Structure 1
C-alpha cells in the first residue's frame, strides 16, 4: 500500500439513509457528499487483485466518558477503482455550485478527489495531477503488493491487539466505549487464546424496535439484570506460535461464539438485528485483514446488535476506526476479563439472581 499524506477533498455519490425511531434504512434518494481534510492511500485486494482507494479522515473532540479529555475520532472508507481514470479537469464554481474553482479527478462513477485551484495555476504540477498519474500507472502495471495488510502510519504496539471498525452512523448512540484484551490463556494444543471484550454505549435494535418502544424495554431489562445500559460483547483470538520460535506468530484465528454476523448463505449488515450466529460449537475463522502488522487482526462490527465478523458487510458506509493503543483514541484500552467487567456492573443480589436463573431457580 502506498500512503499519501497530503490532505484533499473527497466526494462520493451515495443513497441517503434514515435513522428513525432507532431503525436504520436506505432510501431511494441519492446525494453527493463532500468531505474535507481527507487523505487517500491505495492497496490491492488480496481476493481479486482490484485496486482499492482507502480514504481516511479524522476530527478532534472532547470525550466525557474518557474523563473530559480531547480525543481524535478516526474514519475510514474504501472503494474499488475499476476503470481507466480520465485526466483531471477544472470545474468552475458556477458549474458545480461551490464557493470556488476546483481541480477534480473522477475515480469511477461515484467517487471523486479534488482540491481548490485558481486562475493561472499549473494543474500538471498539482497534487491531484500527481495522483492521477500514479493511479494510471498502477492500473496499467501493478506495483502495489497484493496482501491483506492495512499499512497505516501510527505508533507501534507490541502486544496482540485487534483494531475494530464500526459503521459511523451507528456511532450516534451505539459506539464502542472500551476495548479489553485479557491475559493470554494456554490451550492443550500449544496455542493460546486472548479474550477480547468490547463495551458499547448502548444497543439499538433497528428492524424490531417498534418505534423505539422495544429499545426502552430492552434498556430497562439490562439495567435491572446487569446493573448497566452498556452492552458488552466478547470474542476470542486464538494465536498459534511458530514451532521454531514460540515468540513469533504463525497464525491467528477468531472465535465469535453467539455473535457472528454471517450465516453460510448471508452476510448481515447494519439493517439487521437479533443476529447470533455460531452459537453451538463455534468454529475458528481465519483473519481476513491485519492492521499495520500481523499482531493486529481487523474486526468489523456489522449489525445493530453488535454481531461481528472478519470481513466488512457495510461497504457503503464510513467506519469508525478504533485503534485501542494510540494515545488520543476515543476508547479506553484495558486488560479486564469478561467476568471482571460483569462484576464491575453487577451487585451481589444481581449476581445471585443470575445464578438462580442459570440453575433454573
Structure 2
C-alpha cells in the first residue's frame, strides 16, 4: 500500500485535473512548467525525507535557500564572479549552515524543531540584511540555464526532440533489465515475488508511462536541464539510502535511536551529516529558484519548508521516524505540485488551495498513524 498507493493517487489526481482543466494539465508546455515550478521543492524533499526518517524536522530550509540565493546574487551579479566558482561557494555555505545546525541538534541535544526554528528566523533576517531589502538582478544566461535551459537535440531541430525520445527508449530498456535482475535475485534467495502476470503488467505500465512522458516533452523543447539534475539526485540518494551503510544507519536511528547506539552506530555523527546534507540541498534549491526567478530576492523561499515537509509525509514518510523513501518524497512533491497547478488552472483561489493542501496533509499523516496502530 505504501509503495504503490501514493503513485496510484498521483495518476488519479492527474487524470482528475486533466478532465477539470479541459486537457490543459497534460499539455507539453504545462508538463514542462510543472517540472520547472516544483524542482526546488523536490530538491528540498530529497534532503528532508532523510531528516524525517531520523525522527527530526528542519524548518529553516526556506530561509537557508533564500540566504544562499542572496549570496549567489551578490557574488555573480554585484561582484561578477565566475558562475561555477560562485555556485561551489554557495553550496559550501549551505553545508556550513547545515553543520552549524547539526552541531546543536546532534551534540548539544537541542530539539531540531527549536534549532531550525531559530535558523528560520536567523537566516531570513540575514537575507534581508545582505540584500538591504532589495532584489538583485539579472543573472547571466549561463546561470539561468541551470533552471530554465534544455538539453540540446543532437539529431536535428525538427518538430520532435529526437534525443528525448531516444533517452526514453534507453531508460525503458534499463528499467526492464533492472527489474528482471531484481526479480531473479529474489527468487534465488527464495523470497516471495509477485505473480508473473502482475510483474508483466507493472513493467508494461511503467514503460508506457515513461515513453508517453518523454514523447510529451519531445513535442515541446525536450528534457529540461533541471530534470537531469533531479534524476541524478534521486538515483544517488536512493542508492545511498538502500544500498549503503550510511543509509541503513539512518533508518536504524529513526526506528530506535537507543538500540542503534547500543549496536555501535555513531548516532551523533550520522545526525550531524544528515543536517550538513540538508544544508547543501537547501543551498542548491535556493540557486535553482534564483535562476528561475532571474533574481535574488528577500522574499525567496517563503513556505518552502512546509511544502517539502508535506511532500515527505504525503509520500509515505512516518511522523514517528524510521520509515520513508526518496522516491516516495518525490511522488509526494509531485502530488502537491499537480494539485497547485491544477487548482490554479481551474481558478480556485489561494485560500481554497491552502485549505485543500492542509486537508490532504492531515489525511496522509492520519493514514500513517492508522497503519502503525493496526500493525501494533
Return the TM-score normalized by structure 2: 0.21
Which structure: greater helix fraction? 2
Higher relative contact order (CA 8 A, sep 6+): 2
More strand by share: 1
TM-score by length of 1: 0.22
- Which protein has the larger Cα radius of gyration, Structure 1 or Structure 2? 1
